[in-house]
Amino acid sequence: MIAASLSGTHVLRYEQHPRPLSDYSGDDDPGFDGVTVQWFESMDSYNAHMSEPDFQEIWKDIERFLDTDKLHFVLTEHPHVVMGDDATFPLA
C-alpha cells in the first residue's frame, strides 16, 4: 500500500525488525514486538511524506493492525560511526 502511494514516494528505505519469537517466553515482556525503520532524504522529505493527502488512508490501515496509542517515534540524523567501517553502511 505504501509503495503505491504518494506518501510512499518520499520513503527511500523501509525496514522491519521483528522481535524474535523465542523472546516471548517468560514474564519479562518489554512491551515491544519489533522496530520499523524508514529512511528519508531529509526532514523536509519526512514532513512531505506525512503531509500527502493519502497519508490519512495509510494511517487508517496502520490502525487496523497496530496499537497506535503505544507507538513510539524517534527521528535521527545519519549515524556517526564510532566503530567499524563507515563505507559499509548501510549493512543491508
Task: Determine, yes or no, domain membership for 61.
Answer: yes
Q: Which residue has the higher pLDDT, 57 or 89?
A: 57
Domain membership of residue 77 (yes or no) is no
84 lies in some domain:
no
Per-residue pLDDT at 51 exceeds 60? yes
Count structural domains, the chain.
Answer: 1
**What's the pLDDT score for residue 90?**
61
Report the alpha-carbon distance of residue 91 to residue 47 in Å, rounded.
Answer: 26
Q: Is residue 86 pLDDT above 70, yes or no?
A: no
Is 29 contained in some domain? Answer: no
Residue 4 lies in a domain: yes
Tell me if 36 sits within 8 A of 15, measured CB to CB: yes
User: Is 92 part of a structural domain of the chain?
Assistant: no
Q: Provide the pLDDT confidence category of residue 50 given band limits of 50, 70 and 90.
A: very high
Per mean pLDDT, which range of 18-27, 59-68, 78-87 is the poorest? 78-87
CA-CA distance, 40 to 9, in Å (whole number)? 10
For 24-45, what is each residue's pLDDT tens digit?
A: 877 777 778 899 999 999 999 9
Question: What is the domain range of residue 11?
Answer: 1-19+34-70
